Amino acid sequence: MKNRIFPGIALSPRLTKFGPVMFSGHLTDGLNAVSAAGFKYAELSIRSTSDIDPEELNNTLERLNLKITAIATGQACLFDQLCLGSEDDQFRKKAVEHFRAITLLAKKINSGAVIIGGIRGRLAGSDSDYQKNFDNGVNAMRECAHWTEANGIPLLIEPINRYETNWIFTAADGRDLIERIGVNSVKLLLDTFHMNIEESNIADALIETGDRLGYVHFADNTRHAPGQGQTDFKSILAALEKINYSGPIIAEVLPLPDDKTAVLDTAKFWKSMNISL
């Protein structure tokens, strides 16, 4: 296990009210802090393709010997109404176009994947509208999946807890969704914060997901750095080892008590697990 996982930190290049990212609006400072703490991997939460200059970022990544594991896309829905689950056909179309542009950006910075999490948004309308809106949302995600696959960028689907969305909550929901999408390269991203709310047993959900798991977010039950709350990360790591998981484990956590301390607390957590960065 020690040689198969890649711990990292989630950052936001743009100043944002979206909480669980570090060094919001101060990307270079964040990358420097991540590198100084010993990490080699970072995830970026991108609202717009204009958030970063690919050439400048690539130069910084090379200097610091860092790699971008994925681009998260939820801010575009949260702040710009570009949601793949929108009941408005034009907004949904614009969301797909936005996601395609993010995928091309991912290629430019050699990102390991792109994420569909919060960009799904919430499904609107009455119960009778729900299934139609669900199906439209799945179709939009299928368009995104075909685009990412054609461009050689893995697509990750993230189940999110019931307080932040109203569809795709659990690992089982996510597995059903990727079956509906029907594109073999699509994998699940499972986040321990959301799983702590939605799963009866986090370790079992990970094991049941098996090789459909492509990426992991770590955050404690408080959404602070792992090790700051009550989540049993030893059992989670044991489950990941049982399914031979090989890939990123990114801390998507609140920058508390401050950004630098949260990064250092995450590094201390990995040291306590006897896993080198």
Positions annotated as catalytic residues are 158, 252
* C-alpha span between 204 and 236 (Å, rounded): 9
Judged on CB neighbours under 10 Å (0-12, 13-18, 19+), 189 is buried
Tell me how many helices (H) and strands (E) the chain has. 10, 8
* C-alpha span between 159 and 95 (Å, rounded): 18
Cis amide leading into 154 (omega within 30): no
In degrees, to the nearest 5, what angle opens at C-alpha 8 toward C-alphas 103 and 248? 65
* C-alpha span between 115 and 132 (Å, rounded): 23
Closest to 176 (Cα-Cα) out of 146, 235, 224, 134: 134
According to DSSP, the β-strands at 155-157 and 67-72 are: unpaired
Phi first, then psi, for residue 216 (nearest 5°) are: -140, 140
* C-alpha span between 88 and 84 (Å, rounded): 10
Note whether 70 and 43 are within 8 A (CB).
yes
> Coil, strand, or helix at residue 255?
coil
* C-alpha span between 204 and 6 (Å, rounded): 22
